[in-house]
Amino acid sequence: MVGSLRGRALALLVAGVAAAGAAGAAGCTVVKPVVCAFTYPVDKMSESLATPRDASQDYSDIPPTLVLVTAPILIPLRFLTLSVMGVAGGLVSGFASDLNVIVWNVETPVTNLTRPFKTNAKKPPE
């Protein structure tokens, strides 16, 4: 019984990915929020790890026990929060990107697909 449930879940997952891919050929509104749900948190968290710390942000006085207890809660919570932001931004900019495709205001339809707060609009001539 468990094997059949796993098989059904896997089949539904594959069907969902295939449907998202098929819709991606026609619409950023569907695909961009899904893509940004994963890329935006990863980009933001890697960006925050790469920035140099100021002297005012000295964390050496924080006890290691506190870090070990709170990190498994706060890191996934931050990822989830950033995912929601990525989905919301991707939905709005995906809709705007679809409008740009309809009115032929694009160079390539997949420009800025992984950036939730940017569209695929052509840059204006200077």
Residue 106 φ then ψ, to 5°: -130, 150
According to the per-residue pLDDT averaged within each range, which of 3-7, 30-34, 55-59 is highest?
Answer: 30-34
- The SS3 call for residue 125 is coil
Q: What is the mean pLDDT of the chain?
A: 80
Model pLDDT, residue 57 = 64
For residue 33, what is the DSSP state? H
Structure tokens at 33: 């929020």
pLDDT digits (tens, 9 = 90+) for 66-116: 889 999 999 999 999 999 999 999 999 988 888 888 888 888 878 888 888
Sketch the domain layout of the chain as residue ranges: 27-49+60-126
Q: Within a 10 A sphere around the Cβ of 126, how many other Cβ atoms?
A: 3
pTM confidence score: 0.69
Q: How far apart are CA 116 and CA 32, in angstroms?
A: 7
Structure tokens at 124: 């204006």
Instruction: Using alpha carbons, list the distances in angstroms from residue 80 to 62, 73, 83.
Output: 25, 11, 5
- The SS3 call for residue 106 is strand
